[in-house]
């Protein structure tokens, strides 16, 4: 069967990446992030291979469900893209909730058994093993282009296998667009939604919208409490040569924002990075109750060049998490 059209849109998403580890194949007690959501019976012990965003989200989720969770992370610390002070707060919150994170752990084998699975890993040259009723493979996402015949259609892909697109989401083949995870961009639902806005503008509108229009795109890692980020970290801003000013406070110490204490979880940190030359916000890391909501206000301010001073002096409702901005932006130096 053949179907012809003037326009073709590829939107096949992505798959969980299966690492080249001995025995690492899905099935039995070995899961990806989709299958683990339907796990039965519920695992008393869970081993998460990978300390990235997906791995940490499931670690946080399952420790609150009652599992004994161990994360095997090959990095020196979790959340390597965050400043050390922010990452330390997050790691401590996970530890307080019962998650064990083993850093610089290189997993060498996964074996599924009758009653449990066994994960073999190395730390500091020493081989160790850990048993669990479930193992989550959380080491990134992979392309879903297998079987699509992209080469025959003249559609180019990058070295990871994702479809290459330009700013208007056009592929190298005339009349073919690629949207969502399959084009290898940021793998967030809202980016896929924006891809579709760009596509609709290309096909039905003025054709002016592009991926280059995106700025100050926030994201949240849904731990307890959530980790929300937009823009540059302090380290990244200094590396790029900005005149960096920083305002940071532990959430528990922010007197003007009692919302987190009211809800019984005052853990976290609020950190802003500001350009000393312009007073514009370069980035923010928010780790606290409702940070996934507050980060959108910060991102909007950044996109419209609202200064740190303006954001500091804005009137916010009380008691809310947003009013932490009044106090933290008041200590920027």
Q: Which residues pair with 143 in a beta bridge?
A: 14
Place of tokens 């060049």: 305
- List, by residue number, the catalytic residues: 318
State phi, psi for 180 to the nearest 5 degrees: 80, -160
DSSP string, 19-43: -S-BT--SBTTEE-HHHHTT-SSPP
Strand pairing report for 281-287 and 227-231: antiparallel
Q: What radius of gyration, in Å, describes the C-alpha atoms of the chain?
A: 22
**CB-CB contact of 23 with 110 (8 Å):** yes
Residue 104: CA count within 13 A, CB half-sphere: 5
Helix-helix angle 84-96:53-65, to 10 degrees: 30
Distance CA 23, CA 120 (A): 10
Q: Is 23 left (phi over 0), alpha (psi -120 to 50) or beta?
A: left
Distance CA 89, CA 103 (A): 16
**CB-CB contact of 91 with 101 (8 Å):** yes
Place of tokens 């916000």: 281
**Rounded (to 5) percent helix, strand, coil in the chain:** 30, 25, 45
Least Cα distance to 82 among 200, 234, 237 occurs for 234
């Amino acid at each position: 069967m053949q179907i012809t059209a003037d326009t073709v849109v590829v939107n096949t998403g992505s798959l969980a990446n299966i690492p080249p580890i001995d025995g690492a194949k899905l099935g039995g007690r070995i899961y990806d992030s989709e299958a683990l959501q339907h796990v039965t019976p519920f695992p008393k012990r869970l081993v998460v291979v990978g300390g990235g965003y997906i791995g940490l989200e499931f670690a946080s989720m399952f420790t609150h469900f009652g599992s004994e969770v161990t994360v095997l992370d090959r990095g020196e610390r979790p959340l390597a893209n965050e400043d050390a002070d922010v990452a330390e707060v997050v790691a401590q919150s996970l530890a307080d909730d019962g998650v064990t994170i083993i850093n610089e752990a290189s997993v060498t084998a996964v074996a599924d058994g009758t009653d449990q699975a066994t994960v073999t890993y190395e730390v500091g040259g020493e081989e160790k093993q850990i048993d669990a009723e479930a193992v989550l493979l959380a080491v990134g996402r992979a392309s879903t282009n297998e079987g699509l015949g992209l080469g025959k259609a003249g559609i180019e892909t990058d070295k990871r296998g994702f479809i290459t697109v330009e700013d208007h989401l056009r592929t190298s083949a005339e009349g073919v667009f690629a949207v969502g995870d399959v084009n290898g961009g940021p793998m967030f639902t809202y980016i896929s939604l924006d891809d579709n806005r760009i596509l609709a503008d290309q096909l039905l509108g003025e054709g002016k919208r592009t991926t280059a229009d995106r700025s100050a795109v926030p994201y949240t890692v849904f731990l307890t409490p959530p980790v929300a980020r937009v823009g540059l970290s302090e380290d990244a801003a200094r590396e790029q040569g900005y005149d960096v000013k920083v305002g940071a406070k532990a959430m528990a110490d922010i007197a003007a924002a009692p919302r987190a204490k009211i809800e019984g979880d005052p853990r976290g940190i609020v950190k802003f990075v500001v350009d000393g030359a312009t007073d514009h916000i370069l980035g923010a890391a928010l780790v606290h109750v409702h940070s996934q909501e507050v980060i959108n206000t910060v991102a909007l301010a950044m996109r419209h060049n609202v200064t740190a001073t303006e954001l500091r002096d804005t009137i916010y409702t009380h008691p809310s998490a947003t009013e932490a901005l009044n106090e933290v932006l008041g200590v920027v130096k």
